[in-house]
């Protein structure tokens, strides 16, 4: 494709004149990797087509929601019939109850749930609820975990545990982040120190159990166990942000994966999004009845939304969850994802490229370094120039991975063994050039 004939270029120019950076969410702009973003015309199964009608094997799947692939017939059917019945009412519907029943049936740590429209909203509301339920202000988050763009969450660590974090966005006043304590992921000693200093003032610890916003880095079992124990000892809530991992890494979500190694493990609050909407704007947060009853209209913690529990979105989410609940779904998805990362690792080894990789269910990550990193500082040591070369090499060969090295990848049920083989072959060609 020469620049003269690439139809993505004039579209990007038009977009940039009207929309800051030409995009409605920053990472779509290809700023990290350079080049022109692909404007998607349509998608089906494991593929999407751009403005040039070039086909790509899609490994972002809308950043996680499209676990069945695009245009799954049962989901399309559900969305079409829901749309005919009405788009939005601002009054309760039976489908909200059905979706609540479905989710609570699969994630038993939650007894009650509230539906919202985005992961940001869900995470922000979970923190307000944790603060309201405990009567405390401070909370802990970890460097490299993303919980949406609420003000109090856009923070990086200060110079020491006793100092406040620094806002990572302009427009966030220091006063707004003064209660956010930012710690290193997987650092048990630092976590213990923070609890020793602030334990009685902590409303919650918020964590991505398998972090997908610094590529893919898992919380180690001892670290997660310590998070749980310290929260319990100090009366703080453990909030698992499963917006990405929920119904993506296992049917019971990441908490079920940790419960295999930590007997009885459960979070106090769970934040969900992405897969539960199947590609529609839908997210949620939930937990035990005694905590959830602090929410308005029962309790004093205010939370609301015009489009919350939207009837078309709930139809999409319900149809998606009903498909992934079918016997064998996650076994097949996990095997397919495993075959991709094993294939990539073998191709990298054959070409002498340092490579490490991990996956869980339909989520994967890889690093152009020999050892898997354990925290954000280690992730930052990745050679971004090499990653960008890999990204563009794959893109030229019709394989679309996230346009930034800090993002996990996603395999859907629609990806075939042939798609995986084609991806691995493309990667091997690119590895040769690195
Ligand atoms: C995507 C994501 C969010 C934010 O969700 P939005 O719907 O984009 O607001 C929050 N937490 C995690 C872990 C995510 O991956």
**Cβ of residue 279 lying under 6 Å from some atom of ligand 1:** no
Pocket test for ligand 1, best of 26, 147, 240, 247 (most atoms within 8 A of CB): 147
For the chain, what percent of residues have pLDDT higher than 70? 98
- The string of pLDDT tens digits covering residues 255-278 is 999 999 999 999 999 999 999 999
Atom 11 in ligand 1: which residue has the minimum CA distance?
147
CA 412 → CA 58, 117, 134, 432, distances in Å?
9, 23, 39, 27
Residue 253 has pLDDT above 70, yes or no: yes
For ligand 1, the distance from its centroid to the CA atom of residue 190, given in whole angstroms, is: 26
Q: For the structural domain made of 73-324, what CATH number should be given?
A: 3.40.640.10
Residue 376 has pLDDT above 80, yes or no: yes
Please tell me the predicted confidence (pLDDT) of residue 3.
Answer: 72
Please tell me the predicted confidence (pLDDT) of residue 162.
Answer: 59
- The string of pLDDT tens digits covering residues 163-175 is 678 999 999 999 9
Pocket test for ligand 1, best of 145, 243, 279 (most atoms within 8 A of CB): 243
Contact 291, 124 (CB under 8 A): no
Residue 224 has pLDDT above 90, yes or no: yes
For ligand 1, the distance from its centroid to the CA atom of residue 74, given in whole angstroms, is: 25
Mean pLDDT of 187-212: 98
Residue 291 has pLDDT above 80, yes or no: yes
Beta bridge pairs of residue 283: 116
Please tell me the predicted confidence (pLDDT) of residue 2.
Answer: 72
Pocket test for ligand 1, best of 66, 214, 253, 274 (most atoms within 8 A of CB): 274
Candidate list 58, 274, 376, 419, residue with the active-site label? 274
- The string of pLDDT tens digits covering residues 297-314 is 999 999 999 999 999 999
How many Å apart are CA 63 and CA 279, to the nearest integer? 9
Please tell me the predicted confidence (pLDDT) of residue 412.
Answer: 98
Please tell me the predicted confidence (pLDDT) of residue 163.
Answer: 64
Atom 10 in ligand 1: which residue has the minimum CA distance?
147
Residue 187: both structure tokens together: 């650092």
**Cβ of residue 400 lying under 6 Å from some atom of ligand 1:** no
Q: Is 274 part of the annotated catalytic residue set?
A: yes
Please tell me the predicted confidence (pLDDT) of residue 237.
Answer: 98
- The string of pLDDT tens digits covering residues 43-91 is 999 999 999 999 999 999 999 999 999 999 999 999 999 999 999 999 9
Please tell me the predicted confidence (pLDDT) of residue 12.
Answer: 97
Atom 5 in ligand 1: which residue has the minimum CA distance?
119
- Domains of the chain by residue range: 8-71+327-431, 73-324
The mean pLDDT value of the chain amounts to: 96
Residue 158 has pLDDT above 90, yes or no: no
**Cβ of residue 252 lying under 6 Å from some atom of ligand 1:** no
**Cβ of residue 241 lying under 6 Å from some atom of ligand 1:** yes
Please tell me the predicted confidence (pLDDT) of residue 56.
Answer: 98
- The string of pLDDT tens digits covering residues 127-157 is 999 999 999 999 999 999 999 999 999 999 8
**Cβ of residue 273 lying under 6 Å from some atom of ligand 1:** yes
Candidate list 47, 59, 146, 185, residue with the active-site label? 146
Please tell me the predicted confidence (pLDDT) of residue 100.
Answer: 98
How many Å apart are CA 78 and CA 70, to the nearest integer? 14
Please tell me the predicted confidence (pLDDT) of residue 165.
Answer: 80
- In CATH terms, the fold of domain 8-71+327-431 is 3.90.1150
For ligand 1, the distance from its centroid to the CA atom of residue 244, given in whole angstroms, is: 7
Instruction: Note the pTM of the prediction, 2 decimals.
Output: 0.97
For the chain, what percent of residues have pLDDT higher than 90? 96
- The string of pLDDT tens digits covering residues 324-336 is 999 999 999 999 9
Q: Is 302 part of the annotated catalytic residue set?
A: no
Instruction: Pick the closest to residue 117 from 299, 238, 324, 285 (CA basis).
Output: 285
Quote the Cα angle for 85-86-90, to 5°.
130
């Amino acid at each position: 494709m020469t620049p003269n004939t690439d139809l993505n270029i004039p579209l990007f120019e038009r977009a940039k004149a009207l929309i800051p950076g030409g995009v409605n969410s920053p990472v779509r702009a290809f700023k990290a990797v350079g080049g022109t973003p692909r404007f998607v015309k349509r998608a089906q199964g494991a593929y999407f087509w751009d403005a040039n009608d070039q086909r790509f094997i899609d490994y972002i799947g809308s950043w996680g929601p499209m676990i069945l692939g695009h245009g799954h017939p049962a989901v399309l059917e559900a969305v079409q019939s829901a749309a005919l019945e009405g788009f939005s009412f601002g009054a309760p519907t039976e489908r909200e109850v059905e979706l609540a029943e479905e989710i609570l049936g699969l994630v038993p740590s939650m007894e009650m749930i509230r539906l919202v429209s985005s992961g940001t909203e869900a995470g922000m509301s979970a923190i307000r609820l944790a603060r309201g339920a405990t009567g405390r202000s401070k909370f802990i988050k970890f460097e490299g975990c993303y919980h949406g763009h609420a003000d109090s969450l856009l923070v990086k660590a200060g110079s020491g545990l006793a100092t406040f974090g620094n806002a990572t966005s302009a427009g966030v006043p220091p006063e707004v982040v003064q209660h956010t304590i930012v710690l290193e992921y997987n650092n048990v000693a630092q976590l213990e120190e923070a609890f020793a200093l602030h334990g009685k003032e902590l409303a919650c610890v918020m964590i991505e159990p398998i972090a997908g916003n610094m590529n893919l880095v898992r919380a180690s079992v001892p670290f997660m166990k310590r998070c749980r124990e310290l929260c319990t000892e100090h009366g703080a809530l453990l909030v698992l942000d499963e917006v990405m991992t929920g119904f993506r890494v296992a049917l019971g979500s990441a908490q079920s994966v940790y419960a295999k190694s930590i007997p009885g493990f459960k979070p106090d609050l769970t934040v969900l999004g992405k897969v539960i909407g199947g590609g529609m704007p839908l997210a949620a947060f939930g937990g035990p009845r005694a905590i959830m009853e602090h929410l308005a209209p029962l309790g004093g913690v205010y939370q609301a939304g015009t489009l919350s529990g939207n009837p078309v979105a709930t139809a999409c989410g319900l149809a998606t969850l009903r498909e992934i609940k079918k016997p064998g779904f996650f076994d097949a998805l996990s095997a397919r994802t495993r075959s991709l990362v094993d294939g990539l690792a073998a191709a990298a080894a054959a070409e002498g490229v340092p490579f490490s990789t991990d996956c869980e269910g339909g989520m994967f990550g890889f690093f152009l370094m020999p050892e898997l990193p354990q925290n954000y500082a280690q992730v930052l040591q990745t050679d971004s120039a090499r990653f960008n070369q890999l990204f563009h090499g794959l893109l030229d060969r019709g394989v679309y991975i996230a346009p930034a090295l800090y993002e996990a990848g996603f395999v859907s049920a629609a990806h075939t063994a042939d798609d995986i083989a084609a991806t691995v072959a493309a990667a091997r060609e690119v590895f040769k050039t690195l």
